[in-house]
Structure 1
């Protein structure tokens, strides 16, 4: 069988326990990538004499690569399988990140960042699809949100690591360190990560799917469902068939609405992570070190994810997502009101709770509402639309900061974006 078998002496239940941790670490790399360039940008700019525009380009080019990677590798995942796609994406990202440490000039560095983004962009939709397909059907929201805590843990850890590494050792060492997890992660994936039974079943590989389901205690109602013969085609034909499914009459409304929602969600995530400290400094707050401020924001995100998953499993990802976007909009609007310094940290914590997990609930809904043979494609297209928002968010916020009107107008803008996310999610329907 093509999927990884259980190791000798390891029970199937214990082997199944490898899936979530391995995917969690893969998503942690996304969190590393979020902050590694801003963390090292001062050293890069000093060495190569970059202007502000050149530095901004280096940040943006990786995001563009992640957008393209999400759109393409998400679709590829539904053709070649979750296991191959995830291992390949992690290995490619890690090798290219290591090469960034040896870039001789900003052009080569930018090309490597774009290519690394291609690999990393495919990690997220693939990991979400796999974790959901190895979780109980009633716990899909919890499985998604728990895995996404890795994103914020990675962001906080990388910011802290930057303080310890960049000044004494140089910026290049951050990219060497960022590639090191692959030395352990890829061998563990090769040994312990199975292929998804839902993927196997949707591609007509019934005997293998039943074997994986038996090994890992999974329920596979799709085993008895008719299989689309196009789902198993390799190459462009199979990808085109999956895309036609997403834009068919059955899924078109959700495909468009979820794409808009994901755009709004990642606009908030990346806009806030890049510019919230600057906006608050413009408002006159003495917030101390930027690291401490962003730590509060991302700790709130972790707490919010743990709560959001439980809520989603009780009331559904759609209802929970609408509530989370609406709450995020309200809290962002309230941040436009000046508070005592001690009061702003709890508000930022609560904002992190709702803003970041709102976007993850979109992924949980996409995963729950699409059949296995197009699930990763749907997640990839949702994440790809979101990556456009990830590019737009920092640009808009930066323009407001540059114009000196980010407080309070930056918060008004973010609040409107949150409200639009709730509105877009509210027009989705069960496919």
Structure 2
């Protein structure tokens, strides 16, 4: 499969872009991209989780009942879903860079605006807009980073980057425990809006476009050479560039109908559905826990500050994703993550059994967080590996987008259970079921789309002359 050909003036022979990245050290320019994407993901986690940490203050200050919190707790999740679903196809058409910069600007402005909301309705609207930006930022950060990674380290690096999300959420919890008593709940949102706006200036100056995207879209060879030379000077000797992709027929569909055509093609549709289900179930657990755990622990008899600190241990556990990434680069990613989800189900169930025992709560909440966030943080790397360049933006974004409805469902589920006065133990027993379903979905994905060795280099080719 060939794209339209573009002239190049370089003196050497055509170069396989990914092979050159694979054969070169992971250098300063790639670490710069990693750092910018890592900061984006940290801010994504901070702003996404912030509403859960300020929820007890909203209940007290605005005199609202707990079930009334459901719209404001889920507003950002609706925005996250919409932002991801729209931004994926756009990034496959317009590029990763412009969508990512726009997304950070949107969620920075909206998060800052949330701090000045005067009632629950205004806060709900601003949280939805914040979610739009957050939803567009995460998948494009994953996609851009993945397309600058060598194959042998892709899962490790993406998982390391994705650790920023639970770390940002945990950092938000620790900061909220200090800032809210000292400065009020609005201070958390002011911080969550100001930092992204400052970061957007850096992104405008330094963030590059994906080299694989430039090749796939037949940009001039001179531009590709200049970008790739920042990774390795060996690119200066190339006269043309190409990339290899799995699935020539699916890649052709993506060329004709965009990333959506690839994601829904016969070759990829089963795997796509299983990725959506898995991520959906993971976010049922994550948001049910992060949004409601501070309130549930307070209702179980803990002091509000202790409830917030213990809850912050749950997202902190995402550092385990680095080990998962190493295992995914060496073994079968579907099986590695499926085991993590099964262990997550067990540990979440044990949270419900630890009510009244603070020491045991600290232990099982942290263990559940390590397992849950290890599994969930590994999913973007699994999706990035599954899809070729032409549809990778859509594939990663749609998994994250459809999965966000799991966050909506998780938050609404706990709201409904608390309204029915289900016990602390009962709530976490029900939430744990989602981990079992996620593991089963990955087993089905492995059966339908077995993860084996890398495809042959000539399976599909994009060439510039």
TM-score (norm 2): 0.81
**Which has the higher mean CA deviation after the structures are superposed, 311-320 or 117-126?**
311-320
Whether contact under 8 Å (2:259, 2:392) holds in the other structure is: no
What corresponds to 1:322 in structure 2? Answer: 338
Structure 1 unaligned regions, length at least 5: 1-11, 233-237
RMSD: 2.9
The alpha carbon displacement at 1:24 in A equals 0.8
Greater relative contact order structure (CA < 8 Å, 6+ sep): 2
Which of the residues 216, 222, 230 maps onto 2:231?
216
Whether contact under 8 Å (2:254, 2:262) holds in the other structure is: no
**Which has the higher mean CA deviation after the structures are superposed, 39-48 or 246-255?**
39-48
What corresponds to 2:48 in structure 1? Answer: 34
Give yes or no for the alignment of 1:292 onto 2:312: no
**Alignment partners' CA distance in 2, 1:279 and 1:161:** 20
1:249 alignment partner, SS class? coil
Q: How does 1:99-114 map to 2 (within 5 A)?
A: 99-114=113-128
What corresponds to 1:354 in structure 2? Answer: 371
1:395 alignment partner, SS class? helix
Give yes or no for the alignment of 1:16 onto 2:30: yes
Q: Could you say if the C-alpha distance between residues 89 and 392 of structure 1 is closer, same or farther in structure 2, counting changes exceeding 3 Å?
A: same
1:216 alignment partner, SS class? coil
What corresponds to 1:409 in structure 2? Answer: 426
The alpha carbon displacement at 1:70 in A equals 0.9
The alpha carbon displacement at 1:286 in A equals 8.5
Q: Could you say if the C-alpha distance between residues 387 and 102 of structure 1 is closer, same or farther in structure 2, counting changes exceeding 3 Å?
A: same
Give yes or no for the alignment of 1:382 onto 2:402: no
The alpha carbon displacement at 1:259 in A equals 0.7
1:17 alignment partner, SS class? helix
The alpha carbon displacement at 1:173 in A equals 2.9
TM-score (norm 1): 0.87
**Alignment partners' CA distance in 1, 2:394 and 2:280:** 17
1:223 alignment partner, SS class? strand
What corresponds to 2:81 in structure 1? Answer: 67
Give yes or no for the alignment of 1:144 onto 2:167: no
Whether contact under 8 Å (2:276, 2:403) holds in the other structure is: yes
The alpha carbon displacement at 1:365 in A equals 1.0
1:194 alignment partner, SS class? coil
Structure 2 unaligned regions, length at least 5: 1-25, 452-465
Q: How does 1:49-128 map to 2 (within 5 A)?
A: 49-128=63-142
**Alignment partners' CA distance in 1, 2:89 and 2:174:** 35
**Which has the higher mean CA deviation after the structures are superposed, 252-261 or 340-349?**
340-349
Q: Could you say if the C-alpha distance between residues 427 and 403 of structure 1 is closer, same or farther in structure 2, counting changes exceeding 3 Å?
A: same
What corresponds to 1:4 in structure 2? Answer: none
**Alignment partners' CA distance in 2, 1:414 and 1:263:** 12
